[in-house]
Structure 1
Amino acid sequence: MTMAVKSAWRRVRHFVWGEEPKTKEEQRLLLKIDWFILSYCCLMYFTNYLDRSNVANAYVSGMEEELHMYGNEYNKINTLFTCGYIVGMIPNNLMLQVVSPRIWLPTMQIVWGVFTFCSSSVSNVQQLYAIRFLQGLSESSTFVGTHYILGAWYKSGELGKRSGIFTCSGLIGTLFSGILQAAVYQHLNGIAGRSGWRWLFIIDGVITLPIALYGFLVFPDVPTTTRAFYLTEEERLLSADRLENDEGRDVSHAKPSWNLVRRVLGRWRWYGCSLLFLISGETESFGSNNLMGQWLKAIGGYTVEQIDYYPSGMTAFAIASTLLCATWTDATRSRARWPVLVYMSISVVISSICILVWRSPIGLKFFAYYLAGASYAGQATTFAWANQICADDDQERAIVLASMNMWNNVINAWWPLVFYPATDAPRFTKGMWAMIGTAIATLLVTAIVYYLEQREKRVKHRRDDREEIVETDEKKEYEGSFHQ
């Protein structure tokens, strides 16, 4: 009975937390890096998303009226943020190979925290345009930078769950922003002559800066360069050794070389992975454009607090979907990531159809918006998949991860203006048809990437088999000549 219980516990642990460490030393190392890497990365991304979401919450909580915004100016704010995000993406990820990540990531966090404080004092929308562009430039360091760091520390069987936890920390930031804005509006609106939405920016800035200081203290860089005080010399060596034995992982962390462009553009990985997130990332438009909040405000009958609170249901479902899907992909023997993208695509198609049928009950529309939270499940899975695909080339991995998010944000720069303008609220008819098309395209590209990955594995296995045969023949020939 005891053995049966232990066996069941191992299966549960494997499902919940991924591949079990082989030794007690590796288990102790994994606990340390889980605590220090995930604690800082998740807190950093929490504030990152908190600072991104606050504009959406501020817009429906009085900023529109106070800054005399009209037409699609709200969409332009998001577009300028996205432009800054695009410009900073690849440079930020390359800087992680030149400057210590322990220095670079917290420094960028301080920069965007200062800009968050500045947002509380704007007197017109043009000032907010400039601030949001610069904020996007600094915030672009966080998402792809963290996925690069996760891929540098975790094995493929550990990566999905950690990527999921990281993604959820951003979603919790979105969830918390709505709850925080409702509380701020209720208790601080008008205090010291400031509107509630202005206080939101101040509080977000206050939350951001201490977390950056925590990063300076505890973030461990990457295995080959880490000098973290909490890792012994044996653990530093083990952190690199265990990855070298994981599907030929490249842990060199060398500075960018001149043949990097040739390597990146000469393989399918950059094209396939970039295209995959370029398209699949647009399924998140329900949440990233706060469509539910705009819908509630446009149809009327809801208080400011309700407009801030109710979209949190979508975020809550996004968190549940992300964690469950990431856990499942790590637990499978094949580490297959593609089924998550199928689940996500089907969910957003159902949501879009429910919203397109305008005479459907309000309750069904609530269900549709909440179900659309499934779109976020693909984010962690897609980047874990890219980390897995590019595991054998550290520099290529950095470029591919950054490019995936960059190209998605190139689309984000104009996509909401065309398909989700604020003037289309509450129906967003064009947007719902665009969402259905995006989901179908996601399924197609997912199939292409899966096929290319499997073909590359087959070619590699055949090459390895040939090399093994050649080595065996040479060994036999040598042994034969020696005996003669």
Structure 2
Amino acid sequence: MSDTSIHLHKSKTSNNHVEIEELIRDEEQVRVRHWYDAFIRLFYWYPTDIYSPRERKFLIKLDLCLLIYTCVSYFTKALDKANITNAYVSGMEEDIKFYGDDLSYAKSLYSAGYIVSMAIGTLLVTQKWSRFLLPTFELIWGVLTFCGAAATKPQHIFCLRFLIGFCEGIAFPSSVFIIGSWFTRDEVFRRVMVFSVSSSLGGMFSGYLQSAAYENLSGTRGLAGWKWGFIIDGIFTVPVAIFGLLMFPGPLQAKSQKDTKPIWWMTKDEYEIAVERQVRSGIDGARQYDLKILKKTILHWPVHFFATFWVLLNIVALPDGTVMPLWLKYEAKVHNRFTVSQINNYPTLQSVVGVVAQFFLAGLSDSFPIYPFLAFTQICFIIAYASLAAWNIAWGWKWVCMLAIGLDTVNQAIVSGWINRVCRHDSRERAFVIGYSDAVSQAMNIWTNIVFYPTSHAPEFRLGLIISTIAAFLMLVLPIVEVYLTKRDTKKYVEKKERELVERISVGSEEKGAAL
């Protein structure tokens, strides 16, 4: 190669290195000009100055088909998960002799089934046919929810909770992975926020539905009100599963995958737009697993960091759905303060807090760094849980602390988008990290529910609240480690892309020289 060729080669390499660094910088940044644009983006998702008409039309259609299904599906999951506590405080405890720590055991069995299913979902979600996986499992858990109305003894509930947990286990990791494969950096947090909000709404409406069933359907056709709660939840779930079988697109496959076709409602042009966005944003599309990738993933830091973080997240979330309902039931029994309807309805205020907090904190994570929002949430938990651990506090402050428990959904929304962001360059790592992290946390939940929040210790749960306070503190400081590790990985990624460009330029120069 001549000196002139070498000089040109170096010049091109230098220019391309700058281009790569700019690309990485662009990926890390978001498309807002002023700080107040971030608040506008919470409501205005398809600005004409950012999206072309083609891309805008595609995004609207994608949100209508993909996002709506995942949200409604997750809503039914939350509905069918929360209904056991609502049934418990509405008469199931006395009707089927569901005494002692049976409620804690049932929740732990749910977690056990969840773990087994999650392993399946993590490995299969990258398959081309995986779009049928979630709707099929949802159809099954909807039928099992109906069966809760037929329970006559604790063993029936134990079996059903394990099976429902098994079917619901794939819902979260599959949905978060699939959302992350279609949407870019400055789109994904808002979508995950809406997805997570649907869970809060599910938990909230579970209380309202159980209250309505108790008041209006008790005794109808010889069934107790709490049994009608299970029937109504099943009626919500099954049609949603059928909708998913027809409309859910599944994950966006990698550009290199052969014989990949869009779902029936997506045109070829729209599918090409999706692939262009995928490549532009550095998102690796769904691909097959192999042992080499699994080994690489297990040895890479994100799987261990986020598994640890998710365990802490779930420990912080343990009081949700347990502490407030059982406190209200205790107050009703001992002091005759609340009715059955109030016991079902008042905990839904936690979901209201969660919905509002997710909308602003998780929604703004598309535009700002996530750590301030995570930090604010953990500080609230530390204050609230430390106060509840003391227990003998002012009545009004106790209510504030109880409502603050609803902030746990903010953690889930932000961390879900965070994983998609950090692991965007390898779809198989991303799927594994999402599934493995949630699986490990659910494995911990099998015993943490029983040890830290046993029903027999209601309503104070002093040990559990102390442990949850410590977990919130650890979540406050751990992100510092991630900042360093992500910067190191970004540097390696830039160097890798530069090497690839050098090789392509060298090959191109040699071919051009041979032709001359």
Tell me if both proteins adopt one fold, taking TM over 0.5 as the criterion.
yes
Aligned to 1:241: 276
Which residue of 139, 142, 145 corresponds with 2:174?
Answer: 145
User: For residues 3-37 of structure 1, what are the alpha-carbon distances to aligned partners after superposition, in whole Å with 9 as ceiling and x for unaligned?
Assistant: xxx99996654354568543111111110101111
Deviation at 1:152, TM superposition (A): 1.1
In 2, the alpha carbon distance for the partners of 1:480 and 1:395 equals: 37
Q: Are positions 1:359 and 2:392 aligned together?
A: yes
**Does structure 2 conserve the Cα–Cα contact (< 8 Å) formed by 1:15 and 1:330?**
no
The 5 A counterparts of 1:183-332 are 183-224=212-253, 225-246=260-281, 248-251=282-285, 253-287=286-320, 289-300=321-332, 301-332=337-368
In 2, the alpha carbon distance for the partners of 1:164 and 1:350 equals: 24
3-state SS of paired residue (1:120):
helix
Deviation at 1:471, TM superposition (A): 7.3
In 2, the alpha carbon distance for the partners of 1:22 and 1:203 equals: 42
Q: Are positions 1:453 and 2:476 aligned together?
A: no
1:14 is matched by which residue type in structure 2? Answer: R
Aligned positions, number: 472
Deviation at 1:88, TM superposition (A): 0.9
**Does structure 2 conserve the Cα–Cα contact (< 8 Å) formed by 1:325 and 1:377?**
yes
Structure 1, 216-225 or 53-62: larger mean CA deviation: 216-225
In 2, the alpha carbon distance for the partners of 1:366 and 1:159 equals: 34
2:361 is matched by which residue type in structure 1? Answer: C
User: For residues 320-339 of structure 1, what are the alpha-carbon distances to aligned partners after superposition, in whole Å with 9 as ceiling and x for unaligned?
Assistant: 1112112211022xxx3233
Which residue of 49, 57, 68 corresponds with 2:97?
Answer: 68
In 2, the alpha carbon distance for the partners of 1:276 and 1:68 equals: 37
Aligned to 2:111: 82
**Does structure 1 conserve the Cα–Cα contact (< 8 Å) formed by 2:115 and 2:442?**
yes
The 5 A counterparts of 1:20-169 are 20=47, 21-98=50-127, 100-169=129-198
Deviation at 1:94, TM superposition (A): 1.9
Percent identity of the aligned residues? 29
**Does structure 2 conserve the Cα–Cα contact (< 8 Å) formed by 1:18 and 1:327?**
no
Aligned to 2:427: 394
In 1, the alpha carbon distance for the partners of 2:512 and 2:75 equals: 65
In 1, the alpha carbon distance for the partners of 2:360 and 2:154 equals: 40
**Does structure 1 conserve the Cα–Cα contact (< 8 Å) formed by 2:452 and 2:464?**
yes
In 1, the alpha carbon distance for the partners of 2:511 and 2:92 equals: 82
Q: 1:214 to 1:24 in 2, by over 3 A?
A: same
2:180 is matched by which residue type in structure 1? Answer: G
Q: 1:479 to 1:219 in 2, by over 3 A?
A: closer
**Does structure 1 conserve the Cα–Cα contact (< 8 Å) formed by 2:189 and 2:414?**
yes
User: For residues 372-395 of structure 1, what are the alpha-carbon distances to aligned partners after superposition, in whole Å with 9 as ceiling and x for unaligned?
Assistant: 211210101101111111111111
Q: 1:337 to 1:9 in 2, by over 3 A?
A: closer
User: For residues 274-322 of structure 1, what are the alpha-carbon distances to aligned partners after superposition, in whole Å with 9 as ceiling and x for unaligned?
Assistant: 11111122211121x4210101111222110011011111111011111
Q: 1:477 to 1:143 in 2, by over 3 A?
A: closer
Deviation at 1:158, TM superposition (A): 0.5
Normalised by the length of structure 1, the TM-score is: 0.92
Deviation at 1:459, TM superposition (A): 3.1
Aligned to 1:343: 376
Q: Are positions 1:428 and 2:461 aligned together?
A: yes
Structure 1, 87-96 or 200-209: larger mean CA deviation: 87-96
User: For residues 428-465 of structure 1, what are the alpha-carbon distances to aligned partners after superposition, in whole Å with 9 as ceiling and x for unaligned?
Assistant: 11111111111112123222223211221233335545
1:242 is matched by which residue type in structure 2? Answer: R
Aligned to 1:406: 439
Which residue of 433, 447, 450 corresponds with 1:417?
Answer: 450
Unmatched 5+ residue regions in structure 1? 1-5
Q: Are positions 1:174 and 2:210 aligned together?
A: no
In 1, the alpha carbon distance for the partners of 2:161 and 2:511 equals: 70
Q: 1:220 to 1:466 in 2, by over 3 A?
A: closer
3-state SS of paired residue (1:414):
helix
Normalised by the length of structure 2, the TM-score is: 0.86
**Does structure 2 conserve the Cα–Cα contact (< 8 Å) formed by 1:88 and 1:141?**
yes
Which residue of 354, 368, 381 corresponds with 2:401?
Answer: 368
3-state SS of paired residue (1:256):
coil
Which structure's CA Rg is the greater one? Answer: 2
Q: 1:295 to 1:339 in 2, by over 3 A?
A: same
**Does structure 2 conserve the Cα–Cα contact (< 8 Å) formed by 1:150 and 1:159?**
yes
Alpha-carbon RMSD across the aligned residues, in angstroms, is 2.5
Unmatched 5+ residue regions in structure 2? 1-32, 254-259
3-state SS of paired residue (1:286):
coil
Which residue of 36, 41, 66 corresponds with 1:14?
Answer: 41
